Structure 1
Amino acid sequence: MADTSYVHRLHAGAPGKPILFVLHGTGGDENQFFEFGRRLLPEATIVSPRGDISEHGAARFFKRTGEGVYDMDDLARATEKMAAYVKDLTVDHGASQILGLGFSNGANILANVLIEKGLFDASVLMHPLIPFQPKPNPELAGRRVLITAGQRDPICPVPLTEALAAYFETEKAKVTTEWHAGGHDIRPNEIDAIRTFFEPYF
């Protein structure tokens, strides 16, 4: 049987409320965004898994062979595992909607689950990098996506961020993009945009 478990933190929310998965960046862990998620949606179930790959001691959700060069076989493995994990916990907690928030590597696994499976009703992709052409997926129609990014991000170049936003728009997702003038860091306007994005799920 496939392994669909992660080391994680979990806050069980109120019945019939959404479930929010918060996914850390490279070198983070299940603590990185857990309390942030609880503050964003106090009545939701919050799930924060730790990536199951170690890159020189730094936790990640899938392997890579270099900066921006993904091990596509392992990305496929990780996507299947994350999708099964999300489905299982959503059923376990009777959640009304499935929400996701990921930063950097966490945004990349979240984005690829969206690309392959749909699944998430609303997703925040903070500084994502998808360095390949995603496949069409009609299940993305109507799903809400917020992309946040830095105009001087050396890890996630502006053209690739714009290409990802255009992909989701082509698939008829409801896309919002929030930029700041910095790099691969989280700025206050991103936090404000995230709060506004999740307001319908309070």
Structure 2
Amino acid sequence: MATIELSRDHGYVHRVKSGAQGQPIFFVLHGTGGDENQFFEFGSDLIPDATIISPRGDVSEYGAARFFKRTGEGVYDMADLARATEKFAGFVSALKAEHQASEVIGLGFSNGANILANVLIEKGRLFDKAVLMHPLIPFAPKDNPTLKGVDVLITAGRTDPIGPARVTQALADYLAAQGATVELDWHDGGHEIRRSEIEAVERFLK
């Protein structure tokens, strides 16, 4: 039986379930106001044999946990985003080595999707697969050819007021232009997670 524990190693408070040696390591990242519990069981259900890592964002916005600061809705503190990207990339690298993982997979929702997306933009092949649920990257990313071969699923709502459809499409187009394999799954709602996108995630990770 796998052991589930709460750890403070490597810079984040996080829940961890150790998987079988040689299996993937799966990072699941909450949205603003969530915590390490939000997607932990979901991650375990999606890839049962993987090592599951669910960190808590290290920034507090009026008591709501986030992975980096912002100055307003959709307006990022770019210096803190850079700090958070380097910190999270180091966290991923350390735990991949510690668990001798065969591949690195990430899943994030909203703010969790945004930090995951920026790690992809900056670090390329640090992740082999990534699920970005309702991401928002409101700037033009730099080219990164090391994204070639990364598998990415983006799920989004066509009427999402937080992550507008045109910005979501621009992120998908950017990733594809860098050589990533990109799937984009839409529903007709807003920023909520719907059953159809959960099904898309399940298909993507099989």
**TM-score above 0.5, yes or no:** yes
Trace 1:97-116 onto structure 2 (pairs within 5 A).
Answer: 97-116=103-122
Match of 2:85 among 79, 96, 99: 79
The CA deviation string for residues 168-199 of structure 1, in whole angstroms up to 9 with x for no partner, is 01001000000000000000110001001110
- Identity fraction in percent: 68
Q: Which residue of 2 aligns with 1:38?
A: 44
SS in 2 for 1:169: helix
Runs of at least 5 residues in structure 1 that lack an aligned partner in the other structure: none
Runs of at least 5 residues in structure 2 that lack an aligned partner in the other structure: 1-8
Please tell me the residue identity of whatever aligns with 2:43. Answer: G
Whole-angstrom distance in 2 between the partners of 1:102 and 1:4:
19
Please tell me the residue identity of whatever aligns with 2:185. Answer: E
Scaled by the length of structure 2, what TM-score is found?
0.95
Please tell me the residue identity of whatever aligns with 2:197. Answer: E
Runs (4 or more) in structure 1 with deviation over 6 Å come to none
State yes or no: 1:121 paired with 2:128. yes
Whole-angstrom distance in 1 between the partners of 2:19 and 2:201:
20
Match of 1:56 among 47, 51, 62: 62
Scaled by the length of structure 1, what TM-score is found?
0.97
Q: How many residues align?
A: 197
The CA deviation string for residues 48-72 of structure 1, in whole angstroms up to 9 with x for no partner, is 0000000000000000000000000
State yes or no: 1:179 paired with 2:186. yes
Q: Which residue of 2 aligns with 1:163?
A: 170
Counterpart contact for 1:4–1:81, Cα < 8 Å: no
The CA deviation string for residues 99-156 of structure 1, in whole angstroms up to 9 with x for no partner, is 0000000000000000000110000000000000001001100100000000110000
Whole-angstrom distance in 2 between the partners of 1:4 and 1:64:
24
State yes or no: 1:20 paired with 2:30. no
Question: Higher RCO, 1 or 2 (CA under 8 Å, sep at least 6)?
Answer: 1
Q: Shift of residue 5 of structure 1?
A: 1.1
State yes or no: 1:191 paired with 2:170. no
Q: Shift of residue 4 of structure 1?
A: 4.3
SS in 1 for 2:11: coil
Counterpart contact for 1:129–1:160, Cα < 8 Å: yes
Match of 1:6 among 6, 12, 24: 12
Q: Superposition RMSD on alpha carbons, in Å?
A: 0.8
Whole-angstrom distance in 2 between the partners of 1:8 and 1:172:
32
Counterpart contact for 1:38–1:46, Cα < 8 Å: yes
